[in-house]
Amino acid sequence: MTTEPLFRDDAYLRETSARVIAAGPDGIVLDRTVLYATGGGQPGDSGRLVLADGSTLAVTEAVKGENGAILHRLAADASAPAPGATVTASVDWDRRHRLMRMHTALHLLCSLIPGAAVTGGAIGDGKGRLDFDLPEAPGKDTLNAGLAALIAADHPVTTEWIGEDELDANPGLVRTLSVKPPRGAGRVRLVRIGAGDPPVDLQPCGGTHVRSTGEIGRIAIGKVENKGRQNRRIALVLEA
């Protein structure tokens, strides 16, 4: 059972018709979906399923299942549609868009601290953080100014694919120590920010992002914390 992840090619697709291919206590598996499944530090989407009779089921979270399946989790007392049923799956767009803005902003933060490995991170609704292997972090004012400039420049955000052998030949593309690019499919998805050479940022990522940095909007450094001798935690918050 494999779910076609429509969000991978179009993060702005808000709904799709789909067929139920399995249903159980762990969730509903559809043949395709617009709901992102938890992974890479990004939370799974919430949303809803509309059945053929017009009734609605709330999806509390989308998570990864086995063999490429995406599980759409329902409330504990919900009655799942039977396999073969046709539904319309839609994503909670306002929440998803905030996650997209934050995820893209964290890529910009990463670009402002070149060469430092990312040892951890999290993306939340309106907030996020990255942990860097650094003896000292840049000051908040410096980071805020850098983020503001990159957002104002409205750099394009695009995706592309490379072979796993290309990634092996360019290990510097991988910034995160805690999350490794998925392997085994023969290719790896990259997110590129900026049209120049070199780009603002280029690294493996399977998450959802906005189309350009200007769409991130107002964002600021929340905290810069010491989490160990070589670990600096930098938090971001959306301001609007």
**Using the 8-state DSSP alphabet, how is residue 116 labeled?**
P
Residues of the chain with pLDDT > 70, as a percent, come to 97
pLDDT in tens, 147-164: 999 999 999 999 999 998
Tell me whether strands 4-5 and 32-33 are parallel, antiparallel or unpaired: parallel
Report how many domains make up the chain: 2
* Whether 108 and 207 share a structural domain: yes
Beta carbons of 81 and 51 less than 8 angstroms apart: yes
49 and 129 in a single domain? The answer is no
CA distance 134 to 118: 9
Average pLDDT over residues 142-151: 97
| Domain containing residue 104: CATH number | 3.30.980.10
Q: What is the rounded CA–CA span in Å between residue 238 and residue 125?
A: 9
Same domain, 28 and 82: yes
Please state the pTM of the whole predicted model: 0.94
Q: Specify whether 64 is located in the same domain as 129.
A: no
Taken as a whole, the chain contains a residue count of 240
End of a domain among 68, 91, 114? 91
> What distance lies between CA 150 and its chain's CA centroid?
19
Evaluate whether 72 touches 87 at the Cβ level (below 8 Å).
no
Which of 76, 91, 106 is a domain's end point? 91
Residues 11-41: tens digit of each pLDDT: 999 999 999 999 998 999 999 999 999 987 8
Residue that wins the pLDDT comparison between 96 and 184: 96
Please state, in angstroms and rounded to a whole number, the distance separating the CA atoms of residues 30 and 206.
Answer: 20
The answer to whether residue 183 scores a pLDDT higher than 70 is: no
- Which residue range forms the structural domain that includes residue 72? 4-91
The last residue of one of the domains, among 91, 109, 142, is: 91
Asked if residue 83 and residue 102 are part of one domain, the reply reads no
d(CA 47, CA 59): 5
The answer to whether residue 4 scores a pLDDT higher than 80 is yes
Q: How confident is the model at residue 184 (pLDDT cuts 50, 70, 90)?
A: low
Q: Looking at the structure, do residues 83 and 135 belong to the same domain, yes or no? A: no
Give residue 186's pLDDT.
82
Same-domain check for residues 194 and 114: yes
Question: Taking 70 as the threshold, does the pLDDT of residue 51 lie above it?
Answer: yes
Q: pLDDT averaged over the chain?
A: 93
Given a cut of 80, whether residue 180 has pLDDT beyond it is no
Cis upstream peptide for 198 (omega within 30°)? yes
Report residue 224 as tokens. 């810069």
- Is there a single domain that holds both residue 86 and residue 103? no
Are 83 and 115 contained in the same domain?
Answer: no
For the record, the structure tokens of 102 come out as 């934050």
Give yes or no: residues 40 and 143 share one domain: no
- The CATH code of the domain that includes 77 is 2.40.30.130
Pair 48, 103 in one domain: no
The better pLDDT of the pair 114, 181 is held by 114
Share of the chain above pLDDT 90, in %: 79
Do 82 and 193 belong together in one domain?
A: no
Q: Where are the alpha helices (DSSP H) in 30-139?
A: 93-111
